[in-house]
C-alpha cells in the first residue's frame, strides 16, 4: 500500500476519506449503468420490442455471472482490507493470487456447464416465441465470455480493497468507453443486433480485466497475479467464503427474483417486460450511485475495524447522511421527468406509460435499499458471516410470497408494488440485526450504532 492510500485509510478527515473511496466507485458504477442503458438505447433504435424483451430477460444470467465474480471479489477484498489493517502484507499477496485464478476457473466451469444446456436456459429465462432466438444469441455469447466477466468483477473488488479507488474507477470507465464504442459499431456498422451488444459487453470486460491485472502485477506493492503466490489454505478459504458465499447467494437471489418477476410480467405481455427492462435500467443509475457509495467505503470500514473502531463509527455516520441527501435529490428528479426518460428508449405510448408508472413506484424504495446496502456492507467489512448470510436470503424469501399474493389481489399493479414491500422488509430485518449485534458483540461492534 503506498503512502497516499495509507493516509486515506488512517489519517484523512472522515469526509475526505469517504470521498476518496466512494466517489470513484460512484462514478465507476454510474458509468456501468450508463452503458447498460445505452445497450437498451442502441437496440431501441432498431424499433424491435422483442430485442428489448430479450435484453430484459437475460438480466438474471448476468446477475449469476456477476455473483460468481463477487463471490471471490467481495470475499477476498474485505479480507485483504482487514489484512492490511493488521499489516499482514504477505498474506495479501496470497489472497490476491487466489482470487485471480479461482475467478477464472469459476468462469470456465460456468461456460462448460451452461453451453450444453443453452436451450433449457433460454426457456427457463421465460423467452417468448418472438424473443426466443434473440435471447439465445445473447445467452450464448455471455456464456462464452463468462470467464472474463467473472474476472472483471473479481479484480475490481481486489484493486479497490487496497485503497486504489482511482485505479478501480479507471478500469470501470475503460470498460464503459470500450463498450459504447463497440455498441455503436456493431449496431450501426455491422448490424449484429443482440449478438453484437453481448459481444461488446464481453470484450469491454476483458479489456478492463487486463488493465486491472497489469496494475496488480506491475504497479501494486502488495497485490499480485503471480501463480507462485497462489495458496488455498483453510484460513484463506474460510475468510473468503464466509463473506463471499452470502454475497453470492444474495446476487443469485437477485437474479432469481428478476427471473420470477419477469415470469409474472409476461402474463401482461411483452410490453410489460420491455417497460420493466427500461425502467429498471433507469432505476439502476441512482441505485448504483448509492451502491457505489456504500461499497466504496467497505474497504475503509474493514481497515478501521482492525485498526481504529472510532473512525469506523464516524465513517458509517457520515455515509448514512449522504444516502439520505442523494436519495431525496434523485427522487425529485425522477418524479419530474419520468415520461421524458422512458421516451428516450421508445416512442410507444403504452410502453412510456407503463415504464413511467413502474419507475415511480420502485423509486419509493430508493432510500431503504441504500441503507440496506450500507448495513450489509458493514456485516461484510466486519466479517459477520451469519448476518451477511441472513441478508442474502431475506429479500428473496419475502418477494416470492408477496408476488403471488399481490398478483392475485391486484394484478399488474400488485406485481410492481411487491418490489417495494420486499425492500422494506429487508431493511427492517437488517436494522434489527445491526442492533442485536451491537449488544451481542461488545466491544467489537459497539461503536457501530452508539
What would the pLDDT profile of 12-53 be if each residue is shown by its tens digit? Answer: 888 888 888 888 878 777 776 676 677 777 776 776 777 777
375 closest CA partner among 441, 280, 290, 278:
290
Tens-digit pLDDT profile for residues 422-447? 888 888 888 888 888 765 444 444 44
> What's the pLDDT band for 383 if we cut at 50, 70, 90?
confident
Residue recorded with cell 470500450: 178
Judging by beta carbons within 10 Å of its beta carbon (0-12, 13-18, 19+), is residue 397 exposed, middle or buried? middle
Cβ atoms 55, 277 nearer than 8 A: yes
pLDDT at position 449 is: 44
> Are the CB atoms for 319 and 402 separated by under 8 Å?
no
The 10s digit of each residue's pLDDT in 199-253 is: 888 999 999 999 999 999 888 888 888 888 888 888 888 888 887 887 787 777 7
Of the candidates 155, 156, 165, the residue with the CA atom closest to the CA atom of residue 2: 165
Record the pTM: 0.72
List CB contacts of 90: < 8 A, sequence separation 6 or more.
none
Average pLDDT, the chain: 82
Instruction: Annotate 46-114 with DSSP letters as a single string.
Output: TT-HHHHHHHHHTHHHHHHHHHHHHHHHHHHHHHHHHHHHTT-HHHHHHHHHHHHHHHHHHHHHHHHHH
Helix, strand or coil, per DSSP, at residue 443 = coil
Q: Identify which of 39, 293, 295, 8 has the alpha carbon closest to the alpha carbon of residue 156.
A: 295
Residues 331 and 363: beta-carbon distance below 8 Å: yes
Distance CA 176, CA 364 (A): 28
Phi, psi for residue 41 in degrees, rounded to 5: -65, -50
pLDDT tens digits, 155-210 = 988 998 887 878 888 998 898 889 888 888 888 887 787 888 888 889 999 999 99
pLDDT at 443: 44
Q: Nine-digit cell at 10? A: 488512517
pLDDT at 396: 64
Calpha distance 323→327 (Å, rounded): 6
Q: Could you report the per-residue pLDDT of 85-98, keeping only the tens digit for each?
A: 778 888 889 999 99
pLDDT of residue 448: 41
Q: Which three cell numbers stand for residue 99?
A: 482470487
Q: What percent of the chain has pLDDT over 70?
A: 92
The Cα–Cα gap between 135 and 52 comes to 10
Q: Answer whether the bond into residue 443 is a cis peptide, omega within 30°.
A: yes
Round to whole Å and give the CA distance between 61 and 52. Answer: 15
Q: Which helix (H) or strand (E) holds 389?
A: helix 385-440
**Where does the pLDDT of residue 138 fall: very low under 50, low under 70, confident under 90, or very high at 90 and above?**
confident
- Predicted confidence at residue 301, as pLDDT, reads 86
Q: What is the pLDDT of residue 439?
A: 58
Amino acid at each position: 500500500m503506498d503512502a497516499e492510500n495509507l493516509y486515506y485509510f488512517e489519517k484523512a478527515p472522515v469526509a475526505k476519506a469517504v470521498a476518496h473511496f466512494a466517489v470513484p466507485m460512484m462514478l465507476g458504477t454510474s458509468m456501468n449503468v450508463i452503458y447498460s442503458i445505452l445497450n437498451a438505447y442502441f437496440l431501441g433504435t432498431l424499433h424491435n420490442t422483442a430485442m428489448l424483451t430479450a435484453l430484459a430477460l437475460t438480466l438474471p444470467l448476468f446477475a449469476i455471472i456477476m455473483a460468481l465474480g463477487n463471490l471471490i471479489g467481495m470475499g477476498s477484498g474485505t479480507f485483504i482490507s482487514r489484512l492490511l489493517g493488521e499489516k499482514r502484507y504477505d498474506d495479501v499477496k496470497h489472497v490476491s493470487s487466489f482470487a485471480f485464478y479461482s475467478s477464472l476457473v469459476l468462469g470456465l466451469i460456468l461456460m462448460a456447464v451452461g453451453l450444453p444446456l443453452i436451450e433449457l436456459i433460454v426457456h427457463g429465462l421465460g423467452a417468448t416465441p418472438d424473443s426466443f432466438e434473440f435471447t439465445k444469441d445473447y445467452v450464448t455469447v455471455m456464456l462464452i465470455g463468462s470467464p472474463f466477466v467473472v474476472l472483471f468483477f473479481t479484480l475490481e473488488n481486489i484493486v479497490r480493497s487496497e485503497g486504489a479507488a482511482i485505479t478501480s474507477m479507471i478500469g470501470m470507465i475503460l470498460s464503459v468507453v470500450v463498450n459504447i464504442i463497440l455498441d455503436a459499431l456493431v449496431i450501426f456498422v455491422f448490424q449484429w443486433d443482440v449478438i453484437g451488444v453481448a459481444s461488446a459487453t464481453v470484450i469491454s470486460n476483458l479489456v478492463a480485466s487486463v488493465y486491472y491485472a497489469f496494475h496488480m502485477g506491475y504497479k501494486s506493492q502488495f497485490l499480485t497475479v503471480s501463480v507462485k503466490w497462489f495458496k488455498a489454505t483453510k484460513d484463506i478459504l474460510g475468510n473468503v467464503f464466509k463473506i463471499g458465499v452470502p454475497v453470492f447467494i444474495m446476487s443469485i437471489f437477485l437474479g432469481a427474483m428478476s427471473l420470477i418477476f419477469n415470469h409474472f410480467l409476461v402474463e401482461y405481455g411483452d410490453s410489460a417486460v420491455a417497460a420493466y427492462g427500461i425502467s429498471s435500467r433507469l432505476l439502476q443509475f441512482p441505485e448504483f450511485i448509492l451502491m457505489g457509495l456504500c461499497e466504496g467505503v467497505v474497504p475503509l470500514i474493514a481497515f478501521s475495524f482492525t485498526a481504529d473502531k472510532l473512525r469506523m463509527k464516524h465513517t458509517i455516520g457520515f455515509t448514512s447522511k449522504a444516502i439520505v441527501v442523494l436519495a431525496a435529490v434523485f427522487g425529485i428528479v425522477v418524479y419530474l421527468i419520468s415520461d421524458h426518460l422512458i421516451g428516450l428508449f421508445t416512442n410507444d405510448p403504452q410502453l412510456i406509460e407503463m415504464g413511467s408508472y413502474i419507475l415511480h413506484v420502485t423509486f419509493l424504495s430508493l432510500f431503504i435499499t441504500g441503507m440496506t446496502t450500507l448495513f450489509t456492507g458493514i456485516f461484510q467489512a466486519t466479517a459477520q458471516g451469519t448476518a451477511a448470510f441472513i441478508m442474502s436470503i431475506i429479500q428473496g424469501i419475502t418477494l416470492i410470497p408477496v408476488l403471488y399474493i399481490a398478483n392475485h389481489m391486484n394484478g399488474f399493479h400488485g406485481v410492481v408494488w411487491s418490489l417495494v414491500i420486499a425492500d422494506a422488509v429487508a431493511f427492517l430485518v437488517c436494522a434489527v440485526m445491526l442492533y442485536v449485534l451491537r449488544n451481542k458483540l461488545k466491544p467489537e461492534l459497539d461503536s457501530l450504532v452508539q
